Structure 1
Amino acid sequence: MDKARILVVGGYGAVGATVASTLDGWFPGRVVVAGRDGARARALGGVRADVSDPDGFRRTLEELGDVAAVVLCVEPPDTRLARVCLERGVHLVDIGATRRLLDGTAELHDVAAGAGATAVLSVGVAPGLSNLLARRAHEAVGGADRIDLTVMLGAGERHGSDAVRWTVEGLAEPPAGAPLRTALPGHGTRTAHPFPFSDQYTLRRTLGVAQVTTRLCLDSEPLTAALFGLRAAARRPAVRRALTASFSRVHLGGDGFAVRVDARRGGRHAAYAVTGRAQSRFTALAASYATRELLAGSPPPGVHHIEQLPALAGLPEALAAHGLTVWRRGEAPPA
């Protein structure tokens, strides 16, 4: 295990390149970049691997022979690739945010446990840091009746194609709840709109909280209003295609992001928040720390969301060394 390889799938992309470089600093010579574009992967000393071809992916693992962990920085179409990894006893870190895929991978818990493998899901900023903050707030009030998560993303950041496509698809879903005005440390009070982030569904199960809602806004208030003004139109496939193309080309605004979690139980209220710059970078760093824990720690076998692993509870503070600011209610918010 000390010399086994770490396969970073999508390791030349917006998130994967940072995952690969960070892990290479901790585990020199063990990181292998993989992706569907074989030429790009091989230019980095890696291999071709297509997440939509689980049989081909199995052959890649067999050819490499000594893979300890796979980091998925791109979303596969289904859970077959996760099964391929876990059946072989290969640890898995998945930055995916699609509820259907997360739920399907969670169902492989017994497969993973039987093979001695661990999978970590909900790894990133939202889901990810949002899940960890929710657990803190939930415990601070002695078990929440209601949790509200607010996510602000930078409209000027260059996100990967998967992230852009996921955002547009989410815009087309009917809203589950009402907009909410929330104070975000360092960014003032913003109006955020219900959005189908997976964390709200995961946390209902892992924390046992019936009412959990995640809302989204952009760093630009006019862009937020314009984006959610297109919600009804985005239900048409042609509009979604046009929006995906536009968001991939046009980058207005900054790269700052914020996540705030409020938990309430009766008259008790606890709130935690993080702020930073370059959400994609922090998603990559979260995935890197999760991978390091799988390889250097003693993770319990099976499939777990990030908030279910006590060893990762301190991740926000670990990321403070990289520029993340952590805030809790009662402290002076960062300027």
Structure 2
Amino acid sequence: MTTVKSGRLLVVGGYGAVGATVAAALVDWFPGRVVVAGRDAARALRLGGVRVDVTDPDGFRRTLDGLGDVAVVVMCVEPPDAGIAHACFERGVHLVDIGATRRLLDGVAELDGLAAAGGATAVLSVGVAPGLTNLLARRAHEAVGGAERIDLTVLLGAGERHGADAVRWTVEGLAEPATARPLRVELPGHGPRTAYPFPFSDQHTLPRTLGTVQVTTRLCLDSGPLTGTLFALRRAARHPAVRQALTAVLRRVHAGGDGFAVRADARRGDLHAAYALTGRAQSRVTGLVAAYVTRELLTGSLPVGVHHIEGLAALARLPEALAEHGVALQRLGGPPEG
């Protein structure tokens, strides 16, 4: 018989594009236990939730203490540092974090000892990229018996309406210097695409968790012309004024669909294995990944401490679980399985 951990589920940013999906799924699974939180007090209160500001860790502590019985915090917005994680761990509160910034993830990982001492579990790299990319990378890595090189490719739908923070994060990433060359990749449902190096956090996490020396993540959009235009502006985007203007334009332009695809290629010598996932509405699927991880945390036996999603065996089959939500897993090639 499964023992379900008691306590409330605090979904921070629970009225946003990702958070609303998280909250809806968790309400179905754990009725009466979900509390929506966010900086917009009116929106949070309208949903029966509470106001929180992730830039104010002391205020967040007061919120946790006021609610009194929070089991897990699901972070659907990105705080400026690891202060919120610290507030959770010192109270023994579990954390599921969709954050995608390397600096933030590294800061939370440094609190592993505090989390373990308080009996808390934190799961990082939760979403599509990072997240599903990490899980596919591990699968391909194991298929070749330990990869020497992993290439990850992410295609996002230019027609999907992303939140302001997501657009700003993308433009900031565009401004970082490229560390590898573009790559022509076949993506199921989208054909051959040119993808460009992009600073997703998975390429920094996976060398530590998998031991693979060379990991590169590349990005493209479902609109080829928009992809080319965007990356042609990479050098110009180093200037703050250009980034500000580009952010404003991308929030208004929706020239494409809402389909996405991720692909992981692992190579060791002559061995090559590749897996891909395709679906629609990347924000919705990110929310579903976070919800499934939260459910496993509450109903399973995940170890205490801070873990990236690919380091938890109980989450290895998450891509298959998403099939009922229109996410398709494909094995594109590699040595015989099993």
| Shorter-chain TM-score range | over 0.9
- The answer to whether residue 148 in structure 2 is matched with residue 145 in structure 1 is yes
Code of the aligned partner of 1:209? T
Identity of aligned residues (%): 76
Q: Which runs of 5+ in 1 are unaligned?
A: none
Instruction: Go from structure 1 to structure 2 and tell me whether the alpha carbon gap of 1:263 and 1:286 turns closer, same or farther (over 3 Å shift).
Output: same
2:122 is aligned to 119
C-alpha distance in structure 2 between counterparts of 1:324 and 1:127, whole Å: 16
Q: Which amino acid aligns with 1:279?
A: Q
**Alignment partner, residue 58 of structure 2:** 55
Distance 1:150 1:330 in 2: 16
Q: Which residue of structure 1 lines up, in the alignment, with residue 218 of structure 2?
A: 215
* Partner of residue 184 from structure 2, selected from 173, 181, 184: 181
Identify the range of structure 1 (180-189 vs 245-254) with the bigger mean alpha-carbon deviation.
Answer: 245-254
How far apart in 1 are the matches of 2:58 and 2:333? Answer: 53
Deviation digits for residues 295-323 of structure 1 (CA, Å, limit 9, x no counterpart): 11111000000000100000000001110
> 1:167 is matched with which residue?
170
1:17 aligns with 2:15: no
Residue 139 of structure 2 aligns with which residue?
Answer: 136
Q: Output the amino acid matched with 1:160.
A: G
Aligned match of 2:259 in 249, 256, 272?
Answer: 256
Q: Where does residue 311 of structure 2 map in the other structure?
A: 308
Report whether the alignment pairs 1:241 with 2:254.
no
- Cα deviation, residue 330, structure 1: 3.9
Among 70, 73, 76, the residue aligned to 2:76: 73
Aligned mates of 1:257, 1:91 — CA distance in 2:
30
CA distance in 2 between counterparts of 1:209 and 1:330 reads 20
> Is 1:31 matched with 2:16?
no
- Supply the distance in 2 between the matched residues of 1:15 and 1:224 (Cα, whole angstroms): 24
Q: How far apart are the structure 1 equivalents of 2:150 and 2:306?
A: 24
Match of 1:206 in 2: 209
- Contact residue 273 and residue 333 of structure 2 kept, 8 A: no
2:249 is the counterpart of 1:277? no
The superposition leaves residues 198-219 of structure 1 with CA deviations (integer Å, 9 ceiling, x where unpaired) of 0000001100111000000000
1:89 to 68, 79, 92: 92
Q: Which residue of 1 aligns with 2:198?
A: 195
One-letter amino acid of the counterpart of residue 180, structure 1: L
Residues 91-110 of structure 1 mapped to structure 2, 5 A cutoff:
91-110=94-113
Alignment TM-score, normalising by the size of structure 1: 0.98
Whole-angstrom distance in 1 between the partners of 2:151 and 2:193: 14
Other structure's SS at 2:160 match: coil
In 1, the alpha carbon distance for the partners of 2:266 and 2:333 equals: 14
| Aligned positions, number | 331
Contact 2:10 2:37 in 1 (8 A): yes
Return 211-220 or 246-255, whichever deviates more.
246-255
CA distance in 1, matches of 2:246, 2:14: 26
CA separation in 1, counterparts of 2:294 and 2:165? 21
Output the aligned Cα RMSD.
0.9
